[in-house]
């Protein structure tokens, strides 16, 4: 099992560095929450891991693999799954077709939908033939998670997965993320504004401000005073 390690990572849009000297280490099966106010570089960090910014400098490795030399599809084939804000499902594809898309990032070539996805999100079995665009926002988020899991990843990266989701589905999504981490050993990197969830789910956290890591620690160290200083608006 490989660590995902960033060392002195800079990430650019055009000539402007949005991330500046970011370092972190995600051990196999660990849960890391990335916190901070709006506009401090959280989403850019996730995109940098996937190779979706204009340019990165520094070191970013997954085991012995230098990710900065890999394309976005190659990073997916290494076992890194990314669920962006907005979910980006394909509205005209059915639920089945959307999930099957995830299997094309499996290095073993299997095209089967894992049964546990429907145990985790029963509504997807019920709506298997519906078009993705006909689902509610919360159901689309469940679909996006299922699509990512269909690639059998080692690390799941999520950008505010409960944002704009109806409250009755938020708990299902939060429980599913924790279950994936604790029962299936899936590494998780989560950007989330819901501090109580981040505190309950995470092994460790880091706080970004102006593109830099200003604080990191264990979930027990994510105290109310830390939240007040770094996360309140």
pLDDT in tens, 90-146: 999 999 999 999 999 998 888 999 999 999 999 999 999 999 999 999 999 999 999
The pLDDT of residue 233 is above 80: no
CA distance 168 to 111: 31
pLDDT in tens, 45-56: 999 999 999 999
Strand partners, 55: 12
- 169 vs 24, which has greater pLDDT? 24
Put the strands of the sheet holding 212-218 in their side by side order.
80-83, 155-159, 187-191, 31-35, 204-209, 212-218
**Contact by Cβ (8 Å): 34, 205:** yes
Cβ-based neighbours of 95, under 8 Å, separated by 6 or more: 124, 127, 128, 129, 130, 131, 132, 135, 143
Per domain, the residue ranges of the chain are 4-230
- Assign 156 to helix, strand or coil: strand
* Residue 75, H or E segment: helix 72-77
CA distance 140 to 92: 13
User: Is 3.40.50.300 the CATH classification of the domain at 4-230?
Assistant: yes
How does the average pLDDT of the chain come out, rounded? 94
């Amino acid at each position: 099992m490989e660590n995902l390690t960033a060392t002195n990572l800079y990430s650019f849009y055009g000539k402007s560095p949005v991330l500046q000297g970011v370092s972190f280490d995600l051990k196999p099966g660990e849960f890391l929450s990335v916190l901070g106010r709006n506009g401090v570089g959280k989403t850019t960090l996730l995109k940098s891991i996937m190779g979706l910014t204009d340019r990165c400098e520094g070191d970013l490795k997954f085991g012995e693999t230098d990710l900065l030399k890999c394309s976005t599809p190659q990073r997916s084939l290494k076992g890194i799954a990314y669920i962006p804000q907005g979910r980006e499902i394909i509205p005209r594809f059915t639920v089945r077709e959307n999930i099957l898309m995830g299997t094309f990032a499996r290095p073993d070539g299997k095209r089967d939908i894992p049964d546990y996805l429907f145990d985790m999100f029963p509504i997807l079995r019920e709506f298997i033939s519906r078009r993705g665009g006909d689902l509610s926002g919360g159901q689309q988020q469940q679909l996006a998670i299922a699509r990512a899991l269909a690639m059998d990843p080692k690390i799941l990266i999520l950008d505010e997965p409960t944002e704009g989701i109806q409250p009755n589905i938020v708990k299902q999504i939060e429980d599913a993320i924790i279950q994936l981490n604790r029962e299936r050993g899936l590494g998780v990197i989560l950007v989330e504004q819901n501090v109580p969830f981040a505190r309950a789910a995470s092994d460790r956290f880091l706080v970004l401000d102006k593109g830099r890591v200003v604080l990191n620690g264990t979930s027990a160290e994510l105290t109310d005073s830390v939240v007040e200083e770094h996360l309140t608006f």
